[in-house]
Amino acid sequence: MLFVAPLLGGCVLAEQEEDDVEIDEATSAEVERAEVIGEAFCRWYYDCGCEPEPESHESLQECRLHVAAELTRRVEQGRDAALTYDGQCLTDVAAYFESAECSSADDLAFDAELRGALDVLLTCKPWHGGATEGDACVRLPTAKGDDCQPGLSCDVDFDVCVPTALVGEGAPCGGLSPECQAGLTCVADGDADRCVRLAAPGEACVADRCAAGSWCSAESGTCIALPVDGEACVDGGNPFEFGCARGHSCTDGHCVVSPGEGQACDEGSCAPGLSCDQGRCMEAAPLVCSLEGALP
Per-residue pLDDT of 188-229, as tens digits, reads 777 788 888 888 899 998 777 888 889 888 888 999 999 999
- Do 287 and 100 meet the contact criterion of CB atoms below 8 Å apart? yes
In a domain, 249, yes or no: no
Residue 36 lies in a domain: yes
Question: Does residue 10 sit within a domain?
Answer: yes
| Domain assignment present for 246 | no
Domain assignment present for residue 165? The answer is yes
DSSP state of 253: T
Confirm whether 244 is domain-assigned: no
Which runs of E-coded beta strand occur in the chain?
84-85, 127-128, 152-154, 161-163, 184-189, 192-197, 214-216, 223-225, 248-251, 254-257, 274-277, 280-283
Contact between 147 and 138 under an 8 Å Cβ cutoff? The reply is: yes
Domain count, the chain: 1
Q: Is 49 left (phi over 0), alpha (psi -120 to 50) or beta?
A: left
Q: Which residues face 188 on adjacent strands?
A: 193
d(CA 37, CA 23): 22
> What pLDDT score does 154 carry?
92
d(CA 126, CA 145): 6
What are the tens digits of pLDDT across the range 95-116?
A: 777 777 788 777 776 676 777 7
Confidence grade of residue 176 (pLDDT, cut at 50, 70, 90): low
Could you tell me which residues are beta bridge partners of residue 163? 152
Q: Alpha-carbon dihedral of residues 210, 194, 162, 16, nearest 10 degrees?
A: 20
pLDDT at 14: 42
Summary mean pLDDT of the chain: 80
pTM of this structure: 0.58
User: Over the stretch 36-78, which tens digit does the pLDDT of each residue have?
Assistant: 888 888 988 898 888 887 778 889 999 999 888 888 888 888 8
In a domain, 269, yes or no: no
CA pair distance 47, 94, nearest whole angstrom? 15
Residue 273 domain-assigned? no
Long-range contacts of 270-276 (CB under 8 A, 24+ apart): 271/247, 272/106, 272/107, 272/246, 272/247, 273/104, 273/106, 273/107
Structural domain boundaries, residue 176: 5-104+111-182+287-294
